[in-house]
Structure 1
Amino acid sequence: MRRVAALAVLPLVAVTACSGGGLPDGLKVAGVVGRQPTVTIPGSSPSGKLKIETLRKGKGSKVTDGDLVVANYVGYRWNGGDHKLVASSYDAGRPAMFPYGRLVTGLNKALEGQRPGGRVLAVVPPNQGYGAGGYAPWQIGAGDSIVFVLDVIATYHNGASAQGQPQPQNDPAMPQVTSGATPTMKIPSTAPPGRLRIRTIVQGSGPPVQAHQLVVFHDLGQIWRTGKVFEDSRGRGRPDSVVAGAGQMIDGWDRAVVGQRVGSRVLVVIPSKDGYGAKGHVASGIKKNDTLAFVIDVLAAY
């Protein structure tokens, strides 16, 4: 839970169809999938209509509702007198996560049915983008269209889970976790450990998670005192993502994930000092000095 509220390797493939004309609104896109594209935007105004063009078809599972989509992308603001690059995952040094079904309308439509390895171009008008309010972080105004070029790397369904070698659970002082794609956790009726406890209960075979990598995960969190579930990514309908070791999660969660191999399932018991401390988290039912228990499936790291 946040403080506030198998990696697919894709080849670099030239996209020959997008280097010439014939694209929506006079746009040109050049370059290979997997590297930052060169986008040429004309000085004229966009049409004001949603335009979507698949520049390269991918392979594998189609993007469907409830997926978390991993993609590299560039985004341009465009109006009749101006166009500017306003966002780029290439500049950030890691791909972005797109929770399909919860994006602006035009971007949802652009990703619908795409597959890993594909590249898609979308010209999103304001009424299917950020609307009259614009989007200040990208300096997008009320009348601006957005041009996206997205290279889809991977998709993660809600049913994704740890894949690896099960490890013994023989410590009676630790919660017991059921096996399978949707684990449950039984907390013992004893006092919780007084320190952070981390156990790998499924050993994955992927690379270890590094601090400041973007991690795709499923997790289940319960309050030791009551057994109440206060965090359930599967219950929300899709995997989640976070930059590990960057303070976006409570300290104990971060410490449990960094260093784990992709594919692993991790059980962690987090004392208050490594969780929400004396303040607790009222909205979640976490009281002062509550101990927490999590089961975390590490699905990918980028």
Structure 2
Amino acid sequence: MRRAAPWVVLALLASCVVACSGGGPPDGVKVAGAVGRQPAVTIPGSAPGGKLGVKTLHSGKGAKVAAGDLVAANYVGYRWNGGDHKLIASSYDSGRPAMFPYGHLVPGLNRALAGQRPGGRVVAVIPPGQGYGSQGYAALQIGGNDSLVFVLDVLAVYPNGASAHGTPEQQTEAGLPRVTTGAVPSMTIPSARPPAKLTVRTIVRGTGRPVEAKQVVVYHDLGQIWRDRKTFESSRGRGHPDSVVVGARQMIDGWDRAVVGKPVGSRVLVVVPPNAGYGAKGHSASGITRSDTLAFVIDIIAAY
């Protein structure tokens, strides 16, 4: 459960649109450089054409991006308004890819990612009507008349069915929730007092590298309130895997501490007392009081 909503790149309401793409990149935009490295983008001094243009510059391999997918991609993004254009966002600056929940982005980006495959590169020129609209987006200095130019290199595609993969561990401790080891886990909280301290147990031990602080982690999770067994958090219920920078206070403390150091592919049970969760304020929107202990099952799908 997030402490606060982190900034998600261009995450807005989705819409299905049709784009036109000719033999080259749209509106005279030029893209140079190898896939997987920061592209060199040349934007004309003239104004953009005003229509959505999408062009696949390199076709990848593997499963196509589809509904319910979380897309990991490196990207550069520019605003473009007549002779003025400026780089406004780049995953290369942070040294880690961005995560795009397909179907929950501005319409032009949804169209650009539709049907892409890992290893592919796509360029999109997105007019205001398929971007942020007339209100723009002040945080990125995008005005209501600005078009957007994005070049995206797709690294991986994570479907909603992604889950932990590894070796199940024995669950023998009395007084802790029992967690299933199938593709979609369930959790049974016992009729007992919860542990007073943060408790972390590995349910499935993955075979990947241990997660490091400040990495972007792709995950599924299930969260319940110990007191009444109410489910207040479910990434699968939202329809796609989620992502977060761990150790950056984007999540409650107990969640963060449970994930750092665990191998990718693991499924982890976490029992979070109030002082490692929402503390004295609780979280009224989720029905969590100041004295509630929380239980999570976290599938660590990938880390970057």
TM-score band w.r.t. shorter chain: over 0.9
Partner of 1:176: 178
Task: Please list every run of 5 or more consecutive structure 2 residues that lacks an aligned counterpart in the other structure.
Answer: 6-22
Q: Percent identity?
A: 72
Deviation at 1:22, TM superposition (A): 3.5
Q: Does 1:287 align with 2:267?
A: no
Work out whether residues 44 and 83 of structure 2, in 8 Å CA contact, stay in contact via their aligned partners in 1. Answer: no
AA in 2 matched with 1:187: I
Match runs of 1:1-302 below 5 Å: 1-4=1-4, 22-302=24-304
User: Moved runs in structure 1, 4+ residues, more than 3 A?
Assistant: none
Deviation at 1:110, TM superposition (A): 0.4
Task: Please list every run of 5 or more consecutive structure 1 residues that lacks an aligned counterpart in the other structure.
Answer: 6-20
Aligned partners of 1:294, 1:23: CA distance in 2, in Å? 46
Partner of 1:16: none
AA in 1 matched with 2:218: V
Work out whether residues 205 and 261 of structure 1, in 8 Å CA contact, stay in contact via their aligned partners in 2. Answer: yes
Aligned partners of 1:279, 1:91: CA distance in 2, in Å? 36
RMSD of the TM alignment (CA)? 0.9
SS in 2 for 1:152: strand
The C-alpha deviation readout for 1:176-200, integer Å capped at 9, x for no partner, is 0112111110001010011011001
Partner of 1:12: none
Q: How many residues align?
A: 287
Aligned partners of 1:266, 1:27: CA distance in 2, in Å? 46
Aligned partners of 1:174, 1:204: CA distance in 2, in Å? 21
Aligned partners of 1:3, 1:57: CA distance in 2, in Å? 38
Aligned partners of 1:238, 1:134: CA distance in 2, in Å? 27
Work out whether residues 33 and 118 of structure 1, in 8 Å CA contact, stay in contact via their aligned partners in 2. Answer: yes
Work out whether residues 171 and 203 of structure 2, in 8 Å CA contact, stay in contact via their aligned partners in 1. Answer: yes
TM-score normalised per structure 1: 0.94
The C-alpha deviation readout for 1:101-133, integer Å capped at 9, x for no partner, is 010111100000000000000000011111000
Deviation at 1:66, TM superposition (A): 1.1
The C-alpha deviation readout for 1:234-277, integer Å capped at 9, x for no partner, is 01100000000111100000000000000000001011110111
AA in 1 matched with 2:162: A
The C-alpha deviation readout for 1:190-246, integer Å capped at 9, x for no partner, is 100110110011000000000000000000000111111100110110000000011
Work out whether residues 218 and 296 of structure 1, in 8 Å CA contact, stay in contact via their aligned partners in 2. Answer: yes
Deviation at 1:4, TM superposition (A): 2.2
Deviation at 1:173, TM superposition (A): 1.3
Aligned partners of 2:266, 2:145: CA distance in 1, in Å? 46
Partner of 1:8: none
